[in-house]
Structures are given as C-alpha cells and as structure tokens.
Amino acid sequence: MPRSVSYQETLIESLKNPEEAALYIEACLEEGDPEVLRLAIQDVIEAYSRMNKLSEKAQILHTKIDILLAERKEVEQLYYLSALLDELGFHLAVKVK
C-alpha cells in the first residue's frame, strides 16, 4: 500500500512554484496575524532551501524578520498600513519579480 504524503510535504512542494509562494504569503498576510505570516514565510524558506535557491542574504533577512514576527515588534505598523489600504479600496500584494 502506498504511503500517503503529508500535508506539509505537499505544501512545501507547491511553494517551490514562485507564483504559488506569492499567493500563499499574500493570503497569510491578509489574515492579520503575525504568527500566521511567520509560519508562511518559514514554509516558503523551507521550499526554497530544498531547491538550493536561498541566498545567504535571504537567510540573514529571514532570521531577522522571524525574530520580529515572533516577538511581534513593530509588526502592527504593517497591519495598520494594510488596514488603511483596505479602507481606501486597496490591498498589499506579493508578486513575483
């Protein structure tokens, strides 16, 4: 009998696609919860690490943002901006460059 693939493994595989990763981060950003965003970024970092597409600079930046999100320092400002944009009829977007 074939073994089932875990949800996490399936998610990580899908996040190897930059468009999927962007949509995933964007959806998690819209949740308004720093912990949800933190976990989403960790998932994308994991996917990119597995493809050897994670630069040293990205690793350093991830460590810094992970600490900020975990401690919720200054994260509210990002969500204030998001809320303001929402009130104005806009939204933050994550796009592949």
Q: Is residue 92 part of a domain?
A: no
Q: Is residue 95 part of a domain?
A: no
The tally of domains found in the chain comes to 1
Q: Is residue 70 part of a domain?
A: yes
How far is the CA of 38 from the CAs of 7, 21, 28, 64, 92, in angstroms? 18, 14, 9, 11, 17
Q: Is the pLDDT of residue 76 over 90?
A: no
Between residues 49 and 5, which one has the greater pLDDT? 49
Q: Supply the pLDDT for residue 94.
A: 93
Q: Is residue 58 part of a domain?
A: yes
| CA pair distance 88, 80, nearest whole angstrom | 12
Residue 36 domain boundaries = 7-87
pTM of the model: 0.85
pLDDT digits 0-9 by tens, 19-42 = 999 999 999 998 888 899 999 999
Which whole number is the average pLDDT over 48-59? 94
Model confidence band, residue 1 (pLDDT cutoffs 50, 70, 90): low
